[in-house]
Amino acid sequence: MTRPHEDLRHHTPVDHRPGGPPIRFAHDAWCVIDVLHVKSERAPAAASAYETLIEQARTSAAKAGNAAILKSANDRRVVALVEVGGHDAFAHLQAAWDDHHLFAEHRTSTESRTLALYQAISTIGDCALDPASQSVYAFEHFPSAPQSLQRIIGGMAAAQGFLGVQLFGTDDGTKSFIMYRFEHRPQIEALRPNALVAHPVKTF
């Protein structure tokens, strides 16, 4: 019997140039969100590895759809968001990514990672991920249900420079992930100083 991720290990041609079209995650879409905490000098290699993994997942049993890779402003985080078909597709992708050299061979440069399956719960405004955009993006994890974060989302939507916000939640209601989009970085930092400021470097 083949392993569930075996078909992701074949060579896949990958265009590693930055860029890509604006993408959006539809309401109720299932999305794998992986946040990798790395040493700053390893951020470009981590982003490149994610590009390969995502291209492989798009032609595999993981059935990946829209996807984006972001890099934090301080080069200490690399974030991958990948739309998948649901729990079975997530299992295929998780098995392949856990087994990949990015995590198996570079443990000294990968300080931590958080990979989980989320569902897009709600969106206000335009939270499209666009590598060509001059707007600023930021993310936050919360150990709480999406329903408990409506006050934060409402505050975002009323703030100066607001462009969009999207809320994701795990299906067991224990964790949430919020993506913000604003015109300028100080506008986000004034409202959410603990948010991770990042920018899309590649979309699919």
- Does a structural domain hold residue 7? no
Question: Quick one: pLDDT at residue 9?
Answer: 45
Question: Quick one: pLDDT at residue 127?
Answer: 94
Q: What is the pTM of this model?
A: 0.83
Give the residue from 84, 179, 170, 168 showing the smallest Cα distance to 127.
179
Average pLDDT, the chain: 85
Give the residue from 54, 27, 20 showing the smallest Cα distance to 130.
20
CATH number of the CATH domain containing 44 = 3.30.70.100
Give the number of C-alpha atoms closer than 13 A to the C-alpha of residue 164, restricted to the C-beta side: 16
What is the domain count for the chain? Answer: 1
Which residue is listed with tokens 């986000």?
A: 188
- Does a structural domain hold residue 139? yes
Residue-number span of the structural domain to which 177 is assigned? 26-203
For the chain, helix, strand, coil in percent to 5 are 30, 35, 35
For residues 125 and 24, the answer to whether their CB atoms sit within 8 Å is: no
pLDDT per residue as tens digits for the range 60-115: 777 789 999 999 999 999 999 999 999 999 998 888 887 765 555 455 445 567 88
- Does a structural domain hold residue 20? no
Q: Which of 51-65, 107-121, 150-164, 175-189 has the highest mean pLDDT?
A: 175-189
Token digits for 30?
């299932």
Question: Quick one: pLDDT at residue 8?
Answer: 42
Give the residue from 127, 126, 175 showing the smallest Cα distance to 148.
175
Question: Quick one: pLDDT at residue 5?
Answer: 40
Token digits for 64?
């990946």
17 burial type by CB count under 10 A (0-12 exposed, 13-18 middle, 19+ buried): exposed
159 DSSP assignment: S
Q: How many residues belong to the chain?
A: 204
pLDDT per residue as tens digits for the range 134-170: 999 999 999 988 888 988 888 888 899 999 999 999 9
Q: Quick one: average pLDDT of 171-187?
A: 94
Please calculate the CA angle 76-98-120 and round it to the nearest 5 degrees.
Answer: 70
- Does a structural domain hold residue 128? yes
Q: For 109-138, b where at least 16 C-beta lie within 10 A, e where not — what string?
A: bbeebebbbbbbbebeeebbbbbeeebbbb
Q: Which residue has the higher pLDDT, 60 or 44?
A: 44
- Does a structural domain hold residue 1? no
- Does a structural domain hold residue 13? no
165 DSSP assignment: E
Residue type for 182, please?
F
Question: Quick one: pLDDT at residue 16?
Answer: 54
Residue type for 159, please?
A
Strand ranges inside 1-149, DSSP E: 30-38, 67-72, 77-84, 110-125, 136-142
Question: Quick one: pLDDT at residue 112?
Answer: 67
- Does a structural domain hold residue 150? yes
- Does a structural domain hold residue 89? yes
